[in-house]
Chains A and B, each alone.
Chain A
Amino acid sequence: MATEFHNLQELRHSASLATKVFIQRDYSDGTICKFQTKFPAELDSRIERSLFEETVKTLNCCYAEAEKIGGQSYLEGCLACATAYIVFLCMETRYEKILKKISMYIQEQNEKIYAPRGLLLTDPIERGMRVIEISIFEDSGSTSSSSTGSPSSGTAQ
Chain B
Amino acid sequence: MTGNMHLGVEEPIRECQYNQICTHNSSTMDTPHTKKKKIKRKWQVFPGRNKFYCNGRIMMAKQTGVFYLTVVLILVTSGLFFAFDCPFLASNLTPAIPAIGGVLFIFVMGMLLRASFSDPGVLPRATPEEAADIERQIDTANGPSGPGYRPPPRTREVLINGQTVKLKYCFTCKIFRPPRASHCSLCDNCVERFDHHCPWVGNCVGRRNYRFFYLFILSLSLLTIFIFAFVITHVILRSNRTGFLSALKDSPASVLEVVVCFFSIWSIVGLSGFHTYLISSNQTTNEDIKGSWSSKRGKGNYNPYSYGNLITNCCAALCGPLPPSLIDRRGFVQPDTPQPVAQTNGTGACPSNQVQSHMAATNPLLHSQPIILGGGAPLQAKTSLGGPCSTLGPSQASLPSSIPGLSCGGELMALRDSEIHCHHHLHHQHFISPEETPSPPTALPCATHLGHHVHPAQLFNPASQDSLHEDSVRGLVKLSSV
Contacts and interface: CB of A to CB of B under 8 A. Distances in A.
Contacts of B20: none
B445 interface: no
Interface string A13-55: 0000000101001011111000000000000000000000000
B178 A131 contact: no
Contact of B160 (A20, A25, A27, A69): A27
Nearest to A94: B321
B160 A28 contact: yes
A51 to B, nearest CB: 22
In which size bucket is the chain B interface? 35 or more
Interface residues of A, number: 35
Contacts of A90: none
A156 B39 CA distance: 13
Given A30-B179, A93-B321, A130 B158 contact: no
B123 interface: yes
Interface string B170-192: 00000100111000000000001
Contacts of A129: 326
A78 interface: yes
Interface string A88-102: 000001111001000
A27 B160 CA distance: 7
Given A29-B160, A81-B215, A127 B321 contact: no
Interface in A108-127: 125, 127
Contact of B133 (A22, A27, A73, A95): A22
B334 interface: yes
B321 A84 contact: no
Contacts of B305: 30-31
Nearest to A93: B322
A80 B111 CA distance: 12
Interface stretch (B47-55, B77-85, B311-319, B434-442): B311-319
Interface in B315-337: 315-316, 318-324, 326-327, 334-337
A95 B334 contact: no
A132 B102 CA distance: 48
B158 A77 contact: no
B320 A30 contact: no
Contacts of B334: 155-156
A113 to B, nearest CB: 23
Contacts of B124: 127-128
User: Which of A27, A28, A99 has the most CB atoms of chain B within a 10 A radius of its CB?
Assistant: A27
Given A69-B316, A77-B318, A77-B320, A31 B215 contact: no
A25 B178 contact: yes
A112 B344 CA distance: 41
Nearest to B304: A30
Contact of B123 (A30, A77, A93, A130): A130
B126 interface: yes
Contacts of A80: 322
Contacts of B327: 128
Contacts of A20: 129, 133
A130 B319 contact: no
Interface of B: 106-107, 110-111, 114, 123-124, 126-127, 129-130, 133, 158-161, 165, 167, 175, 178-180, 192-193, 212, 215, 304-305, 312, 315-316, 318-324, 326-327, 334-337
Given A30-B179, A93-B322, A133-B130, 10 more contacts: A22-B129, A27-B178, A28-B160, A31-B192, A31-B193, A67-B321, A76-B321, A131-B130, A156-B335, A156-B336
5 contacts: A31-B178, A76-B321, A78-B319, A94-B321, A128-B124
